[in-house]
Amino acid sequence: MSLFLDLDATEIAKGIKEGKWTSLEVTEAYISHINNANKFINAVTETRFTEAIEEARLADKKLKQGEAVGRLHGVPISMKDNVHVSGMATILGIPHRVHKKETQDAYIVEVLKREGAIILCKTNTPALCFYQESENKVTGLTRNPWDLSRSVGGSSGGEGALLAVGGAAVGVGTDIGGSIRFPAHYNGVVSFKSGRNQINDKGILPEFNHSQQLRMLGIGAMGKSVRDAQLLNELFTNKKKSFINLDEYSFVIPERIEQIPLHISTEQIVNRVHDQISVDFKTIREVPPYFHESAFVWQKAMSIEGSSSLKPLLQEDTSRSINIMSEFIKEKLFRKSAFPAKLSWAMIGSDLFRTTEQELKQINDTIAKADEQLDAYLDKKILIMPTYHEAAQKHGKQYSELFSIKKTFMTYIPYITYANAWGLPSLVLPAGRDQDGMPISLQLITKIGQEDALFQFGEWFEENIKAYERCKLYDLEPALV
């Protein structure tokens, strides 16, 4: 069984098509592993194992009959909870949504099903995907497989934890404020956030209606290899990959940036990676343009209309308004709200710092200037920098850093917001470990249109610096398989 758990989607699909193993064998192995590992990490919100077994049998039958198959034929995958899958609930940590089964697939699910993928399960998020700790009052707290006392990040935290233990061949996440990249970093998996307006977001919640927010949203793979991340991006964008001459590229790796915390382990990994890359490529040590503006632009874009667009998702009866302050007090004092205090407090903060018309004009002007200048600056350049200032933290610590009334997020989040504020594609790769053995990852960022350079360099990174390493702490003993 462990053979399949270590393999990426590309290798599993190849093995199925070549007859090395069947889709049924692979699917049953993943289901068995999920049933065991999830008892410890609580990453899964809902399963469709019975349907997956039948789809695997059908996939094997089609292959024997010589029918045309897609690039993920018979491959078992996972899906972040906020993505609609027909017949499954999109729970978002909200009680009344548990029994609300969707009748249509999201666009990206349609694509994956056409290519033959088999969806095994959906994975945990924070309530409304609104903060970076994957915990809610419906499906509970997801725990980091490398250390159960640590966070998995969010909002794609369930995906990060499940892929860290190899619970699917590949998974899918969404990212408007680090929601793919935080979990990839915390759990030590490969991930990709697409650039602005590159992938159809139909069937993904919460919905974003403002152009300043939509441009920050990225969608992409979470998994075990760069080639899987590239494959899913090709499928979602309907673009074919091309060869890039990386000798024509420069790699921008900032020195430690003043006023932004950076753990010594993270700084050492950044410097070591710089030294290794410098042997084969041209490197530049400088802070990229508009770095310090990104956190402000991101926060103001996210606070357009405050939390008003999220409130309808909280209640089954939309004719009755919910008072967020009352829900916060009720939860803090009596634990009687249906919603965690983390959510209501974050929504209160969004309302308190609601974007004014003057601020909106300011960020629109900044975005227009940044888009033009960064397009020129990033031409044939790849930016490499930390994902967060340290490895996976104890549960709750990151929330206190990013949702303080003192706006401490301005200190901690610029590494993340750079790719969101300017709508840039970002590939996150495991790069090392801290003193406690927790994974530390780095971000590779470039401009739209140079995604193939990210993927091509990412494969060089896997071969020369570090590749995905599966957490095997929750494998079943061979005698029990």
CATH number of the domain within which 296 lies? 3.90.1300.10
Pair 263, 147 in one domain: yes
Phi, psi angles (nearest 5°) of residue 335: 55, 40
What CA–CA distance (Å, rounded) separates 86 from 426? 29
Pair 154, 120 in one domain: yes
**Looking at residue 23, what is its pLDDT?**
98
Q: Which residues pair with 171 in a beta bridge?
A: 222
Q: Which domain holds residue 337?
A: 305-352
**Looking at residue 1, what is its pLDDT?**
55
Sequence-separated (6 or more) residues with CB below 8 Å from residue 147: 392, 436, 437, 438
Pair 48, 186 in one domain: yes
Pair 286, 317 in one domain: no
Total residues belonging to the chain:
481
Number of domains in the chain: 2
Pair 16, 134 in one domain: yes
**Where a domain ends, among 293, 321, 352?**
352
Could you tell me if 121 and 78 are in contact, meaning their C-beta atoms sit under 8 angstroms apart?
yes
Pair 348, 367 in one domain: no
Pair 61, 6 in one domain: yes
Range list of H helices, 65-174: 107-114, 157-164
- Which helix (H) or strand (E) segment holds residue 265: the answer is helix 264-280
Pair 213, 336 in one domain: no
Ranges of residues in the chain whose predicted pLDDT is under 70 = 1, 318-319, 477-481
What CA–CA distance (Å, rounded) separates 138 from 174? 20
What CA–CA distance (Å, rounded) separates 398 from 170? 26
What CA–CA distance (Å, rounded) separates 403 from 346? 6
- What's the angle, vertex CA 40, arms to CA 474 and CA 85, rounded to 5? 100
Pair 170, 192 in one domain: yes
Q: Which amino acid is at 105?
A: D
Range list of H helices, 210-250: 211-214, 226-237
| Edge-to-edge strand list for the sheet holding 250-252 | 171-175, 218-223, 190-193, 426-433, 439-445, 381-386, 250-252, 282-284
Pair 344, 379 in one domain: no
Pair 216, 274 in one domain: yes
**Looking at residue 39, what is its pLDDT?**
98
Pair 184, 40 in one domain: yes
